[in-house]
């Protein structure tokens, strides 16, 4: 038994399923999860003395590579001044100033501790603002584990085969309406059938949580127009895409302005941070400015703010980061396509900037139903073939991969080579 296997055996006796977040358990790909000891730049190091090239990057935050020096230094400096005050600090003001500068649709912002908190608060504010109860989400989009969102919730829930979680009340589920992603007509029907009852439409402007799925041309604009027509608050959940697809997120890249935006992952530089913000007239409803209650003992935590600020400052001041990410993304996906061709496979690759997914299906993937057509056992074989070659992928078909600027041209070439070998070996093992 490896040390990772030993740790996992023990973990299972102490932690539900042995992990603190379900996808980590490797259930969707088989085998035993790898326990990570440390990471630096593009590499992960496990408890068994092995080294991997990283393509998850903590599900996004490590866009500059692990333990990026300016972020590390900011945390070291901050730690000397104690770790939490539960009182306002200068850094929170600087953080709000930087976020509103980078994401102009965000006029006011509130810091929280996770993406889940951000989305839960955002819909509460949207409900307070409109005086309506219902919300529309899209099948396969994930917005954290809040009750209202655990309806057709993508990756984690899908990987685990729990489309609707027990424990979510019927009343809560009844207020969440769902439509297929990229299906404007379905949204229009929902709005017509629930006239003056829908508070918000929430979506990932580019989906990462059923694998990477792009909005079709006109989809985001169409949603914006429907929200305007029906007086609905448009929430872009940019927990994954924020500060990744552009410094102003997917909204900058696609030129569509939401009313509210939820953020997480990159915004904390690897620390537990989330944020929600948007139009001042809506955000002014949040307590203590207004009556919609939302609070957090550790919100705006000084250590977390220091890490996030260092990260965002770097991204704001180094546009070449995004140029480089585009370059790496293009080279990698071109290389992956060539690998598919050599293996005689015509699987689908969805890609934008530094996010992409190789779907084990020959059909195009524009929504959840199409994503589900993938050959899951095939993905499991591919995943383990890549792992054996030292490439650490997301342990589920229904996830996007996330690139970092720590990937050098040499490493990109290594990943392309490993992909080709893995595809060929996966076909042999079948
Ligand atoms: C990760 C994610 C969340 C949840 O964030 P947590 O910090 O895990 O609570 C919400 N929305 C999207 C789009 C995400 O990718």
Specify the ligand 1 atom closest to the Cα of 141.
13
Is 175 one of the annotated active-site residues of the chain? no
Per-residue pLDDT, 159: 52
Report residue 351's pLDDT band, with 50, 70 and 90 as the boundaries: very high
Q: Best mutation site among 264, 267, 355 for ligand 1, i.e. most ligand atoms within 8 A of its Cβ?
A: 264
Q: Which long-range contacts (CB under 8 A, 24 or more apart) does 170-174 make?
A: 172/147, 172/148
Q: Whose CA is nearest to atom 6 of ligand 1?
A: 115
Please give the share of the chain, as a percent, with pLDDT higher than 90: 93
Instruction: Name the packing angle between helices 409-429 and 376-388 (round to 10°).
Output: 130
Per-residue pLDDT, 394: 96
Per-residue pLDDT, 154: 63
> How far is it, in rounded angstroms, from Cα 410 to Cα 329?
14
10-38 pLDDT per residue, tens:
999 999 999 999 999 999 999 999 999 99
> How far is it, in rounded angstroms, from Cα 379 to Cα 336?
15
Q: Whose CA is nearest to atom 5 of ligand 1?
A: 115
Is 276 one of the annotated active-site residues of the chain? no
Is 52 one of the annotated active-site residues of the chain? no
Specify the ligand 1 atom closest to the Cα of 241.
13
Kindly report the pTM of this predicted structure. Answer: 0.97
Instruction: Find where tokens 């890609």 sit.
Output: 351
**What's the chain's average pLDDT?**
96
Return the closest-CA partner of residue 406 out of 70, 74, 68, 71: 68
Specify the ligand 1 atom closest to the Cα of 264.
7
Binding-site residues, ligand 1, Cβ < 6 A: 114-116, 119, 142-144, 204, 208-209, 237, 239-240, 264, 274
Mean pLDDT of 268-297: 98
Please give the share of the chain, as a percent, with pLDDT higher than 70: 97
39-72 pLDDT per residue, tens:
999 999 999 999 999 999 999 999 999 999 999 9
**Which listed residue (108, 134, 137, 142) is catalytic?**
142
Q: What contacts 11, CB < 8 A, 6 or more positions away? A: 18, 19
Return the closest-CA partner of residue 262 out of 284, 278, 246, 280: 278
**Which listed residue (175, 237, 247, 392) is catalytic?**
237
State the distance from the centre of ligand 1 to the C-alpha of 115, rounded, in angstroms: 4
Q: Whose CA is nearest to atom 15 of ligand 1?
A: 240
> What is the set of domains in the chain, with CATH numbers?
3-67+319-429 (3.90.1150.10), 69-317 (3.40.640.10)
Specify the ligand 1 atom closest to the Cα of 274.
7
State the distance from the centre of ligand 1 to the C-alpha of 239, rounded, in angstroms: 6
State the distance from the centre of ligand 1 to the C-alpha of 304, rounded, in angstroms: 17
């Amino acid at each position: 038994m490896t040390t990772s296997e030993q740790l996992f055996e023990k973990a299972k006796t102490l932690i539900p399923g042995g992990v603190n977040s379900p996808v980590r358990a490797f259930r969707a790909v088989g085998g035993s999860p790898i326990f990570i000891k440390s990471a630096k730049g593009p590499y992960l190091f496990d408890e068994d003395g092995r080294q991997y090239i990283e393509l998850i990057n903590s599900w996004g935050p490590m866009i500059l590579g692990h333990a990026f020096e300016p972020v590390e230094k900011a945390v070291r400096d901050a730690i000397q001044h104690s770790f939490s005050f539960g009182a306002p600090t200068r850094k929170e003001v600087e953080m709000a100033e930087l976020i509103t500068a980078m994401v102009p649709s965000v006029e006011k912002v509130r810091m929280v501790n996770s993406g889940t908190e951000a989305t839960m608060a955002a819909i509460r504010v949207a409900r307070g603002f409109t005086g309506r109860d219902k919300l529309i989400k899209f099948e396969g989009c994930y917005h954290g584990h809040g009750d209202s969102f655990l309806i057709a919730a993508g990756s984690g829930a899908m990987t685990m085969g729990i489309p609707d979680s027990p424990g979510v009340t019927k009343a809560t589920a009844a207020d969440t309406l769902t439509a297929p992603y990229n299906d404007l007509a379905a949204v229009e029907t929902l709005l017509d059938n629930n006239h003056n009852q829908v508070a918000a439409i929430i979506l990932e402007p580019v989906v990462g949580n059923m694998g990477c799925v792009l909005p079709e041309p006109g989809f985001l604009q169409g949603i914006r127009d429907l929200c305007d027509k029906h007086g609905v608050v448009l929430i872009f959940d940019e927990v994954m895409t924020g500060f990744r697809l552009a410094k102003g997120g997917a909204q900058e890249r696609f030129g569509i302005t939401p009313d509210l935006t939820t953020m997480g992952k990159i915004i904390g530089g690897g620390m537990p941070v989330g944020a929600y913000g948007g139009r001042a007239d809506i955000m002014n409803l949040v307590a203590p400015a207004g009556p919609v209650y939302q609070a957090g003992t550790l919100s705006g935590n000084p250590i977390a703010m220091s890490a996030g600020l260092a990260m965002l400052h770097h991204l704001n001041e180094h546009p070449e980061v995004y140029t480089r990410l585009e370059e790496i993304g293009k080279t990698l996906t071109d290389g992956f396509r060539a690998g598919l061709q050599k293996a005689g496979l015509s699987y689908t690759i969805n890609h934008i900037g530094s996010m992409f997914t190789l779907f084990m299906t020959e059909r195009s993937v524009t929504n959840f139903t199409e994503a589900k057509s993938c050959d899951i056992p095939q993905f499991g074989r591919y995943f383990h073939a890549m792992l054996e070659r030292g490439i650490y992928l997301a342990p589920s078909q229904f996830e996007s991969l996330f690139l970092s600027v720590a990937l050098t041209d040499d490493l990109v070439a290594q990943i392309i080579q490993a992909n080709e070998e893995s595809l060929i070996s996966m076909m042999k093992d079948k």
